[in-house]
Structure 1
Amino acid sequence: MSHVIGLKCRECGTEYPAGIQNTCYECFGPLEVNYDWDYISDHISKEKIAAGPKSIWRYADMLPLESEKRVDLGAGFNKLHHAQRLGAALGLDELYILDESVNPTNSFKDRVTSVAISKALEFDIKAVGCASTGNL
């Protein structure tokens, strides 16, 4: 279960109840999820997250989902590669590269799509369209 308080416009700050809306009615800006951060910091620990499944769903308590209806094709939990030589060439002591090629469609979009489609299932949406560059 998520700990969503509501939605808030990134542009003008107008707040809305959590629901099936993604655009501000006042300025047409994008809406972001507002979380109950006090509850989260008191009840969700690093240990609890680390004990979760080796997928995006280990972070389920931090995602804006209310139900257990989840699309899971194995996205997430990708390995970070320490790019020491590239980091040194760029003057960085610590540079890591996330390997997105291990996701189901070889794309970073798999994580957000899993959450978006899972949310669509919560709203009992029967069809979803997606604009993409072709790898989704």
Structure 2
Amino acid sequence: MPPTNRRSTDSRFSGPLPDRIRHARRLAKLSQVGLADRVGVVPSAVAQWEGRTGTSPTVEHMVRVAKCTGVAFEWLATGRGVTVDSQLESPTIAAESFARDLFEERLLLAFRKIPQKKREKFVVWFEDFV
């Protein structure tokens, strides 16, 4: 029976989610602070994600972790598949396309209610406003 604990440099490392997050971060040669900066969270959030009794990241944060560390999202989320997939394509939707907080989400939802004909005027007004 193969060993269940593998070194952090193994290409097919598996383990619980906190271990996979730590492994992804180390593969990318990032500190917890560096990963936090790239994902858009505070460093203590990364420490929580990597702790056995800590909190789990949201799916959006896992997408960002996978993207900025170069690991496969499926592996990060489930532990299945290969850790680093050289065949991974660029995501069709960039993480920057999603609302970053509740205010941006509310603005987007309100914008979608504007009739198509009025959207251009609204965008011009909003750009002048900010």
Higher strand share: 1
- With normalisation by structure 1, the TM-score equals 0.24
Instruction: Compute the TM-score of the two structures, normalised by the length of structure 2.
Output: 0.25
Which of the two has greater helix per residue?
2
